[in-house]
Amino acid sequence: MTDIDELDILTLTGLEVFAHHGVFDFERENGQRFVIDVALWLDTAPAAAGDELAATVHYGELAVEISGAVAADPVDLIETLAERVAGVVLAHEPVQRVRVVVHKPDAPITVPFGDVSITITRRRAHAAALADAPGARPLRAETPPA
Protein backbone atom coordinates (compact mmCIF):
# COMPACT_ATOMS: atom_id res chain seq x y z
CA MET A 1 0.00 0.00 0.00
CA THR A 2 1.26 3.44 -0.93
CA ASP A 3 1.48 6.08 1.81
CA ILE A 4 -1.52 8.42 1.52
CA ASP A 5 0.86 11.40 1.15
CA GLU A 6 2.35 9.80 -1.97
CA LEU A 7 -0.97 9.33 -3.73
CA ASP A 8 -2.26 11.42 -6.60
CA ILE A 9 -5.47 13.44 -6.39
CA LEU A 10 -8.16 13.35 -9.06
CA THR A 11 -10.86 15.99 -8.67
CA LEU A 12 -14.35 16.42 -10.07
CA THR A 13 -15.74 19.86 -9.32
CA GLY A 14 -19.18 21.39 -9.73
CA LEU A 15 -21.28 18.35 -10.61
CA GLU A 16 -24.86 19.69 -10.57
CA VAL A 17 -27.75 17.40 -9.72
CA PHE A 18 -31.40 18.26 -9.22
CA ALA A 19 -32.77 16.16 -6.34
CA HIS A 20 -35.45 16.05 -3.66
CA HIS A 21 -33.51 16.05 -0.38
CA GLY A 22 -34.27 18.12 2.68
CA VAL A 23 -35.97 18.23 6.05
CA PHE A 24 -38.96 20.23 4.83
CA ASP A 25 -41.84 18.76 2.83
CA PHE A 26 -41.58 21.49 0.18
CA GLU A 27 -37.92 20.58 -0.43
CA ARG A 28 -38.89 16.98 -1.06
CA GLU A 29 -41.84 17.96 -3.25
CA ASN A 30 -40.23 20.69 -5.34
CA GLY A 31 -36.62 19.52 -5.32
CA GLN A 32 -33.58 21.75 -5.70
CA ARG A 33 -30.07 21.94 -7.08
CA PHE A 34 -27.15 20.25 -5.32
CA VAL A 35 -23.54 20.76 -6.37
CA ILE A 36 -20.99 18.05 -5.66
CA ASP A 37 -17.19 18.25 -5.53
CA VAL A 38 -15.07 15.15 -5.00
CA ALA A 39 -11.33 14.63 -4.61
CA LEU A 40 -10.04 11.06 -4.92
CA TRP A 41 -6.66 9.92 -3.59
CA LEU A 42 -5.26 7.10 -5.71
CA ASP A 43 -2.05 5.92 -7.35
CA THR A 44 -2.27 6.88 -11.03
CA ALA A 45 1.28 5.76 -11.91
CA PRO A 46 0.18 2.33 -13.24
CA ALA A 47 -2.43 3.98 -15.48
CA ALA A 48 0.05 6.57 -16.74
CA ALA A 49 2.79 4.00 -17.35
CA GLY A 50 0.57 1.89 -19.59
CA ASP A 51 -1.73 4.68 -20.76
CA GLU A 52 -4.56 2.41 -19.55
CA LEU A 53 -7.92 3.78 -18.49
CA ALA A 54 -8.73 0.46 -16.78
CA ALA A 55 -5.91 1.08 -14.28
CA THR A 56 -7.49 4.26 -12.89
CA VAL A 57 -10.97 5.67 -12.23
CA HIS A 58 -12.99 6.67 -15.30
CA TYR A 59 -14.12 10.11 -14.18
CA GLY A 60 -16.91 10.25 -16.78
CA GLU A 61 -18.46 7.07 -15.44
CA LEU A 62 -17.87 8.22 -11.86
CA ALA A 63 -19.74 11.47 -12.57
CA VAL A 64 -22.74 9.47 -13.81
CA GLU A 65 -22.61 7.20 -10.74
CA ILE A 66 -22.44 10.16 -8.35
CA SER A 67 -25.26 11.94 -10.16
CA GLY A 68 -27.43 8.82 -9.92
CA ALA A 69 -26.67 8.40 -6.23
CA VAL A 70 -27.49 12.03 -5.46
CA ALA A 71 -30.75 11.92 -7.44
CA ALA A 72 -31.93 8.67 -5.77
CA ASP A 73 -33.76 8.04 -2.51
CA PRO A 74 -34.40 11.38 -0.77
CA VAL A 75 -32.76 11.96 2.62
CA ASP A 76 -33.15 14.73 5.17
CA LEU A 77 -29.51 15.77 5.61
CA ILE A 78 -26.71 16.78 3.28
CA GLU A 79 -24.45 14.91 5.72
CA THR A 80 -26.23 11.67 4.76
CA LEU A 81 -25.95 12.55 1.10
CA ALA A 82 -22.20 13.16 1.46
CA GLU A 83 -21.76 9.72 3.06
CA ARG A 84 -23.64 8.14 0.15
CA VAL A 85 -21.38 9.84 -2.37
CA ALA A 86 -18.26 8.79 -0.43
CA GLY A 87 -19.46 5.18 -0.59
CA VAL A 88 -19.93 5.39 -4.36
CA VAL A 89 -16.41 6.75 -4.84
CA LEU A 90 -14.75 4.30 -2.44
CA ALA A 91 -16.39 1.41 -4.30
CA HIS A 92 -13.73 2.00 -6.96
CA GLU A 93 -10.77 -0.23 -6.15
CA PRO A 94 -7.95 2.26 -6.75
CA VAL A 95 -9.43 4.94 -4.46
CA GLN A 96 -7.87 5.03 -0.99
CA ARG A 97 -9.40 8.26 0.30
CA VAL A 98 -12.12 10.66 -0.81
CA ARG A 99 -13.16 14.16 0.12
CA VAL A 100 -16.77 15.01 -0.72
CA VAL A 101 -18.31 18.47 -0.63
CA VAL A 102 -22.08 18.70 -0.98
CA HIS A 103 -23.27 22.24 -1.69
CA LYS A 104 -26.90 23.24 -1.22
CA PRO A 105 -26.91 26.71 -2.80
CA ASP A 106 -30.70 27.08 -2.69
CA ALA A 107 -31.14 25.98 0.93
CA PRO A 108 -34.17 27.45 2.71
CA ILE A 109 -32.28 30.02 4.78
CA THR A 110 -34.09 33.25 5.62
CA VAL A 111 -31.06 35.58 5.47
CA PRO A 112 -28.87 36.35 2.44
CA PHE A 113 -26.13 33.73 1.91
CA GLY A 114 -23.89 32.46 -0.85
CA ASP A 115 -23.82 28.73 -0.16
CA VAL A 116 -24.15 26.08 2.50
CA SER A 117 -22.08 22.92 2.29
CA ILE A 118 -20.75 19.93 4.17
CA THR A 119 -17.27 18.54 3.59
CA ILE A 120 -16.35 15.02 4.65
CA THR A 121 -13.19 12.96 4.17
CA ARG A 122 -13.33 9.17 4.27
CA ARG A 123 -10.77 6.41 3.82
CA ARG A 124 -11.35 2.94 2.48
CA ALA A 125 -11.17 1.42 6.01
CA HIS A 126 -13.81 3.89 7.27
CA ALA A 127 -16.19 2.95 4.46
CA ALA A 128 -15.87 -0.75 5.31
CA ALA A 129 -16.57 -0.04 8.99
CA LEU A 130 -19.69 1.97 8.10
CA ALA A 131 -20.99 -0.80 5.85
CA ASP A 132 -20.46 -3.40 8.60
CA ALA A 133 -22.06 -1.38 11.41
CA PRO A 134 -25.28 -2.83 12.88
CA GLY A 135 -28.31 -1.32 11.17
CA ALA A 136 -26.17 0.40 8.54
CA ARG A 137 -27.95 1.75 5.51
CA PRO A 138 -26.23 1.16 2.18
CA LEU A 139 -24.01 4.06 1.20
CA ARG A 140 -24.20 3.28 -2.50
CA ALA A 141 -27.45 3.85 -4.30
CA GLU A 142 -28.53 0.65 -5.97
CA THR A 143 -29.47 0.67 -9.63
CA PRO A 144 -33.11 -0.36 -10.02
CA PRO A 145 -33.75 -3.52 -12.02
CA ALA A 146 -34.41 -2.95 -15.72
Which residues are known catalytic residues? Answer: 104
Picking from 10, 137, 115, the residue whose alpha carbon sits closest to that of residue 69 is 137
Residues 6+ positions from 125 with CB-CB distance below 8 Å: none
CA distance 138 to 69: 11
Nearest to 10 by CA among 38, 49, 45, 35: 38
Amino acid identity, position 78: I
100 Ramachandran zone, left/alpha/beta (phi>0; psi -120 to 50): beta
